[in-house]
Amino acid sequence: METEHKAEKSEVRAEHGEKGIDTAQETILLAKGVDTLYLHLRPSGIDWQAIYDRADHTEFDQVLVINGMNFVRKKQWVGRHYPLCLQHAQFRFFINRQSAYIKVSSLAFEMYGYEGVVQRLCQVLERLDEKRKTAAWLDLLRVSRVDVYADFVYAGDFNFEQFSTRLRSRGMFQSGKEAEGKTIYFGSRKSDGLFVRLYVKSAEIEVSGKTYLAPAWQEAGHDGHSRVWRLEFEYHKKKIEEVCRQRELIAVEVNALENLWSYGIAALKYVKSPASNGNLSKRPLHPIWKCLHDSLFKEYSITRKRYQRATTAWWQRRIRKSMIAWLATQKSVYEELPVQYVRDFQITPTDFAKARNGQPFAFADWEAEDSIQTERETER
């Protein structure tokens, strides 16, 4: 999904007697999009063992040519599971001997948009697969983490005491005091949580070097001088599955990302003025936040019980397939299977034949069927 640039203006004025921060400021929503994307690549036809061995003998920051593409080994890793890192353009591959964990940088989304990024990543994977064993790369890419953002012009400051949150993990803290160096954090980085950051992006890009954002802001109505804030929502796997209402979101499902902005903005509340007793539930919404809410929120629904049922059903199917695969290595014909296994796991002769005759990861077609079925169950 390409970064959407908007110029929605909302002039807001303080009501008489209110003492909140900067209620008479103009807000312009400049852009919203994906900042960072982390994808897990399931086992495929790529010979990661050979790539790993070559990378392991390459010095840090040295170029490694693989199938005509230049990769640079970086001094990074993701725990003990992905101990090596190779970078190609805006893609970082954290690899082991069987699979990869891929990070896509924010610059890639500015250059190509969301769909363009996914398309280019599939082209890189296609070239890494020397024997062309894999046909559908999109079916193997699963979203593990995604950071979505909204950039908006607001010349004022935010008062930490005027925020409240509906997040189950209610952590709230602030670093820095002045607006230009302040970052306000909400939530948790746990796999089932949402982590939110609010900070002045126009000051941050001068430090990080991401000045390529400035021209895009100006196209959306920025004057080049006013303060630009960024509201950033960091979602991890379990929360993504819950908000998007399906198991294992694949990278191509762009429309599901719309729910992430809606859930994020609805989880926070910024009111016009602080309360002496700390209870902000009855305080009116700050006009700045109302403008953001109107721009980012769309109607959607989350039914956690349905999601939990879909998750349980998904695990049951995974266990069933694992059991069939194991039995296929123990028995040569269907008639030799223990009766209790056939009954409890509902094993058919066709299932057993697929497991006996299939190649490694021969259950890929069943995985696709499971994803469709899980989505249907979640929608019910």
Q: How many CB atoms lie within 10 A of CB 277?
A: 6
Which pLDDT tens digit goes with each residue over 190-249?
767 789 999 999 999 988 888 899 999 999 989 989 999 999 999 988 888 778 776 666
- Which residues 6+ apart lie within 8 Å of 278 measured at CB? none
Give the range among 5-9, 48-52, 273-277, 353-357 with minimum mean pLDDT.
Answer: 5-9
HSE of 253, CA atoms in CB hemisphere, 13 A? 23
- How far is it, in rounded angstroms, from Cα 352 to Cα 349? 5
Query: pLDDT tens across 159-168, in order?
Result: 888 998 887 6
Model pLDDT for residues 258-284, shown as the tens digit of each residue: 889 998 998 899 998 887 776 777 788
Domain boundaries, the chain: 4-26+148-302, 45-133, 305-379
Tell me which of 155 and 368 has the higher pLDDT: 155
Give the pLDDT of residue 202: 93
Type and span of the H or E element at 111? helix 106-128
Cα gap 234→199, rounded to integer Å: 14
Q: What is the pLDDT of residue 358?
A: 62
Q: Indicate the helix (H) or strand (E) that contains 240.
A: helix 237-244
The per-residue pLDDT for 306 is 57
Which of 63-77, 98-112, 335-349, 363-377 shows the lowest per-residue confidence on average (mean pLDDT)? 363-377
Is pLDDT at 21 greater than 70 in this prediction?
Answer: no
Lowest-confidence segment of 30-39, 65-74, 186-195 by average pLDDT? 186-195
Res 310: pLDDT: 58
Q: Confidence class of residue 380 from pLDDT cuts 50, 70 and 90?
A: very low
For the chain, give the percent of residues with pLDDT over 70: 76
Phi, psi (deg, nearest 5) at residue 372: -65, -45
Q: Can you tell me the mean pLDDT for 296-314?
A: 65
Distance in angstroms (rounded) separating the CA atoms of residues 46 and 130: 7
> In the structure, what pLDDT confidence band is assigned to residue 24 with cuts at 50, 70 and 90?
very low
In this structure, of 98-112, 204-218, 225-239, 346-360, the range with the lowest mean pLDDT score is 346-360
Kindly state the average pLDDT of the residues 178-196: 82
The packing angle between helices 304-330 and 237-244, to 10°, is 120
Per-residue pLDDT, 101 = 94
Does pLDDT of 295 surpass 70?
A: yes
Residues 53 and 35: beta-carbon distance below 8 Å: no
Distances (CA, A) of 38 to 147, 260, 294, 358: 9, 15, 28, 30
More confident position, 131 or 107: 107
Residue labelled with tokens 């982390």:
38
Q: What pLDDT score was predicted for residue 65?
A: 96
Across the chain, what does the average pLDDT equal? 79
Distance CA 130, CA 68 (A): 11
Cα separation, 343 vs 270, whole angstroms: 56
Residue 229 β-bridge partners: 152, 200
DSSP letter string over 131-193?
Answer: T---S-GGGGEEEEEEEEEEEEE-SS---GGGEEE--SS--EEEE-SSGGG-EEEEE--STT-
Beta bridge partners of 153: 28, 228
11 or 195: whose pLDDT is higher?
Answer: 195
Instruction: Report how far Cα 233 is from the mean position of its chain's Cα atoms.
Output: 9
